[in-house]
Amino acid sequence: MLEVWGRRNSSNVMAVTWTIGELALDHIRHNVGGSFGGLDSAEYLDLNPNAKIPTINDNGCILWESNTIVRYLSSRYGSGTLYPEDPCLRAQAEQWMDWVKTTFFPAFHIIFFGLIRTLECKRDQQAIDRAIPAAGKILEIVEHHLNGQDYMIGNDLTMGDIPLGACIYRYFNLEIERPPLPNVEAWYQRLSNRAAYKENVMIPFGRSLEQWLQLEKESAQRDATNNS
């Protein structure tokens, strides 16, 4: 059976579990990383020498790096749906996946990590204040791209929607100033109507580090109850 290592509230893990949900794949997920620890164990380092999440083992195929995992799962189990058959469309999907990592996520990470994952007394508020308009400006590229289409690659969900979609719930639910992005907002609403997105991405994250950790703990307790 497909195994996934990573805590449920990691955006990189969300990209993988959302993909799994869209493909309706049976799997087991192990809580590691964050407050769960376990990344420096010999057992985990044998799987992923980077000591990061996520990692998967799909019947002996061990992979890490979330975009690589999403590509693999989409190609193996979602050819013609999440994984476009047309080589150009497939390359365009991969293009947007990589763009999120190189262009949007660096700015968004400063905002989210600074406001939610850092004690208020230790925040770099100046960096956060610079990153907020920068992230909005970057998303204007997506706003233009989505004009006249429902998803990142035409009118059907593909793997090209996954990395940005895994972040966009948080972007629209942070208490920050955002530019008008009607096409992006409509795309986000379409994602929000998908059962796999609701279950795997729309996870409450609180408004502070204390709330984040409490929600993480409660999620782990629910996992333990469901698996017992």
Q: How far apart are CA 203 and CA 146, in angstroms?
A: 25
pLDDT recorded at residue 226: 65
Per the CB < 8 A criterion, the answer to whether 14 and 68 are in contact is: no
Q: Which domains does the chain have, with CATH numbers?
A: 2-80 (3.40.30.10), 87-200 (1.20.1050.10)
The pLDDT tens digits for 150-192 are 999 999 999 999 999 999 999 999 999 999 999 999 999 999 9
> Judging by DSSP bridges, how do beta strands 2-5 and 27-30 pair with one another?
parallel
Q: What is the mean pLDDT of residues 21-30?
A: 97
> Given a cut of 80, is residue 222 above it in pLDDT?
no
Residue 227 has pLDDT above 80, yes or no: no
80-122 residue pLDDT tens: 999 999 999 999 999 999 999 999 999 999 999 999 999 999 9
Helix (H) / strand (E) element for 117: namely none
Q: What is the pLDDT of residue 140?
A: 98
Q: Return the pLDDT at 220.
A: 79
The pLDDT value given to residue 194: 98
